[in-house]
Amino acid sequence: MISFNISPYVGKENEYIEEVIKKRKICGDGEFTKKCNEWLEEKTKTAKALLTTSCTHATEMAALLSDIKPGDEVIMPSYTFVSTADAFVLRGAKAVFVDIRPDTMNIDEKLIEEAVTDKTKAIVPVHYAGVACEMDTITDIAKRYNLKVIEDAAQGVMSEYKGKALGAIGDYGCYSFHETKNYSMGEGGAILIKNPEDIERAEIIREKGTNRSKFYRGQIDKYTWVDAGSSYLPSELNAAYLYAQLEEAEKIYDDRMNSWNRYYEMLKDLEQQEKIVLPTIPKECKHNAHMFYIKVKDLEERTELINFLKDNGISSVFHYIPLHSAPAGKEYGRFYGEDKFTTKESERLIRLPMYYGLGNNAEYVAEKVKAYFER
Ligand SMILES: *Cc1c(COP(=O)(O)O)cnc(C)c1O
């Protein structure tokens, strides 16, 4: 069976974890966490990066930093993972869902401005499949209406928009290092902070509302409770695992990109024959081969293809029941305008196996997809 996903492993993870164990220093914010933070800051050119326990938690931190309050509205796509909405709903805000563009499956930037009300506090673009949203338009709207931009860049590590790292364009950017993502620490994530004046509060929120980070740096002689916060810092064991992969980030990137390109080349014909639709990468975007998806005619054809692939030893998946159709989405959100593409396009989409080391399996999978349409 060809798995849909295998979590990345590059070889030094064991050695680094052992180092942590030998030092008996396994709590958060040790040497490996610092190395990961610095790597992320260097790579994304952002003022501060802080590892977190997940992307969900990074987004919760961003909601706290943005002072989201009950009754506020936050604009986001409905075609996304639940965490995008959860972080704001937990603060009492309403999720306002906007339709997606069918080419990238990202929020349609042209519909955002109409959805802004006097309660709107933030826009949360989700960079689906590591392909950037139209960030110039989004940051322009945010500036004019004084809104925060919180990028859900869970899938966007190593991706760029007009030469800028995803996650480093808005006020806050949220990365995921979950097992299913390009770089992994099991469960984990990071928050990127653009404005230096936000750093101190972010450190406080992440450390249970205390100024412990300042204390460790010797800037104060005792630490105390100064704000509302939580425990958002991961263990050194996880950070050590991740650091091994960040060191090999380019190698993982190249390997995935090769598989992605192989799929694309082999499936181009089917697109020309109008049997499937392949992903669109706008020219201002550099993606990271997080995902290879195709779109088929409809839900029925998708179910058939998934079963056909399964019979051929291939595991393929779909995802995201649009949030506005989910029970919690109905309670905590509303869809602005017409659902032209969100539901329809989500039902057509199928994700093919994609992971570091997929290798020749990509060819086999592409051949089987072709075989399905040639039956
Ligand atoms: C994976 C993912 C998340 C959640 O990441 P965790 O690290 O598991 O919390 C959030 N948003 C999107 C778009 C994702 O793909």
Tokens 């049997």 appear where? 275
Do residue 288 and residue 231 come from a single domain? no
* 128 in Cβ contact with 79 (< 8 Å): yes
- Nearest protein Cα to ligand 1, atom 2: 154
- Residue 37 belongs to what domain range? 13-246
- Nearest protein Cα to ligand 1, atom 14: 154
Tokens 């007009």 appear where? 162
Do residue 195 and residue 340 come from a single domain? no
Kindly give the number of the ligand 1 atom that is closest to the alpha carbon of 58: 9
Kindly give the number of the ligand 1 atom that is closest to the alpha carbon of 54: 7
- pLDDT given at position 37: 98
Q: Which of 246, 280, 314 is the last residue of a domain?
A: 246
* 209 in Cβ contact with 229 (< 8 Å): yes
Do residue 231 and residue 298 come from a single domain? no
Q: Calculate helix-pair angle for 361-374, 299-311, nearest 10 degrees.
A: 130
Kindly give the distance from the C-alpha atom of residue 30 to the centroid of ligand 1, in angstroms, as a whole number.
24
Residue 286 forms part of a structural domain: yes
Do residue 192 and residue 326 come from a single domain? no
| pLDDT (tens digit per residue) in 91-103 | 999 999 999 999 9
- Number of domains composing the chain: 2
Residue 5 forms part of a structural domain: no
Q: Which amino acid is at 12?
A: K
Kindly give the distance from the C-alpha atom of residue 269 to the centroid of ligand 1, in angstroms, as a whole number.
33
Residue 370 forms part of a structural domain: yes
Do residue 90 and residue 150 come from a single domain? yes
Question: Residue 341 is part of a domain; what is its CATH number?
Answer: 3.90.1150.10
Of 89, 178, 183, 291, the one to substitute when testing ligand 1's pocket (max ligand atoms within 8 A of C-beta) is 178
Residue 317 forms part of a structural domain: yes
Task: Indicate yes or no: pTM above 0.85.
Answer: yes
Do residue 156 and residue 39 come from a single domain? yes
Do residue 253 and residue 239 come from a single domain? no
Residue 119 forms part of a structural domain: yes
Kindly give the distance from the C-alpha atom of residue 320 to the centroid of ligand 1, in angstroms, as a whole number.
12
Question: Residue 80 is part of a domain; what is its CATH number?
Answer: 3.40.640.10
Round to whole Å and give the CA distance between 17 and 330. 43
- Nearest protein Cα to ligand 1, atom 1: 154
Half-sphere exposure for 292 (CA within 13 Å, toward CB): 28
- pLDDT given at position 230: 97
pLDDT tens per residue, the chain (375 residues)? 999 999 999 999 999 999 999 999 999 999 999 999 999 999 999 999 999 999 999 999 999 999 999 999 999 999 999 999 999 999 999 999 999 999 999 999 999 999 999 999 999 999 999 999 999 999 999 999 999 999 999 999 999 999 999 999 999 999 999 999 999 999 999 999 999 999 999 999 999 999 998 988 899 999 899 999 999 999 999 999 999 999 999 999 999 999 999 999 999 999 999 999 999 999 999 999 999 999 999 999 999 999 999 999 999 999 889 999 999 999 999 999 999 999 999 999 999 999 999 999 999 999 999 999 998
Do residue 208 and residue 259 come from a single domain? no
- Nearest protein Cα to ligand 1, atom 8: 178
Residue 7 forms part of a structural domain: no
- pLDDT given at position 284: 97
Of 52, 54, 81, the one to substitute when testing ligand 1's pocket (max ligand atoms within 8 A of C-beta) is 81
- Nearest protein Cα to ligand 1, atom 5: 55
- Pocket of ligand 1 from Cβ distances under 6 Å: 54-56, 80-81, 83-84, 126, 152, 154-155, 176, 178, 189
In 10 A of CB 185, how many CB atoms? 31
Enumerate the H helices of 234-352 as residue ranges: 236-247, 249-272, 299-311, 327-332, 342-348
Q: Which of 246, 277, 307 is the last residue of a domain?
A: 246
Round to whole Å and give the CA distance between 91 and 86. 9
Do residue 182 and residue 290 come from a single domain? no
Kindly give the distance from the C-alpha atom of residue 219 to the centroid of ligand 1, in angstroms, as a whole number.
35
Q: Which of 201, 221, 246 is the last residue of a domain?
A: 246
